[in-house]
Amino acid sequence: MQVKAKAKYIRISPRKARLVVDVVRGLDLQDAFNRLTLLNKKAVGPVEKLLKSALANAEHNDELTKDNLFIKEFRVDDGPTAYRWMPRAFGRATPIRKRTSIFSLVLEEKIPTTKKKDKKTQKVETTTVKEKITDKIDPSVSTLKKQESSQALEEEHNEEKIDVKRKGGHRDMQQQEKNVKKEKGIFKKMFRRKSGM
């Protein structure tokens, strides 16, 4: 399993940072930390911080151990350059480039381990207070009610299927429902519009 970490816009030139990164690339994580303690370079600080960040990601997110990890890939790319200006002779100005670096790190396991399975979520059945009370008083009553409700639902479903087959499709059903809605209501029966006035 791979673990990735990134550090952006570090205020050091990529050329200087690569001197440190080249020493560490391909080593075990513990060996890399040991080598960094011996180096006397400015880039050691950000590189060490990034390694610790990647290790924390591996331990916390994926439950990996420090001893089983090594640095598979460590890249330093150019970040945006900030330009400053310095006055020179005869009224000229020369640019000063303040370069930045982007560190990309990939850790990988020496011996691949299988990921632990998460605890299976159990389905929770929701019941009302009345059902719980009836279960305590007489458990046979609640089971009968459940069976009756399921049978009633099945019968309604079967009737709907039969109706659709007889009447010739879904559109006919919709048209009949509209007609039924029109006929309902006392006021509609009393105050019908008379055609041909």
pLDDT tens readout for residues 50-62: 999 999 999 999 9
Q: Which residue has the higher pLDDT, 148 or 99?
A: 99
Tokens of 69: 């990890």
pLDDT of 164:
47
Q: Is the pLDDT of residue 185 over 90?
A: no
Are residue 105 and residue 132 in the same domain, yes or no? no
Count of domains forming the chain: 2
- Within 10 angstroms of residue 101's Cβ, the number of other Cβ atoms is 23
Tokens of 6: 């990134």
Are residue 151 and residue 79 in the same domain, yes or no? no
Q: Are the C-beta atoms of 54 and 105 separated by less than 8 Å?
A: yes
Are residue 90 and residue 131 in the same domain, yes or no? no
Name which of 19-28, 64-73, 84-93, 151-160 the model is least confident about.
151-160
Band (pLDDT 50/70/90 cuts) for residue 147 is confident
Are residue 93 and residue 42 in the same domain, yes or no? yes
Are residue 23 and residue 83 in the same domain, yes or no? yes
Are residue 96 and residue 10 in the same domain, yes or no? yes
Which residues span the domain enclosing 49?
Answer: 2-109
Q: Which residue has the higher pLDDT, 21 or 121?
A: 21
Are residue 92 and residue 27 in the same domain, yes or no? yes
Residue 194 maps to a domain: no
- End residue of a domain, out of 74, 109, 144: 109
Find the CATH number of the domain harbouring 85: 3.90.470.10
Are residue 75 and residue 29 in the same domain, yes or no? yes
pLDDT tens string 26-40: 999 999 999 999 999
Q: Which residue has the higher pLDDT, 6 or 170?
A: 6
How many Å apart are CA 147 and CA 159, to the nearest integer?
A: 18
Q: In the chain, pLDDT over 70 holds for what percent of residues?
A: 62
CA distances from 49 to 7, 46, 94, 103 (A): 9, 5, 34, 11
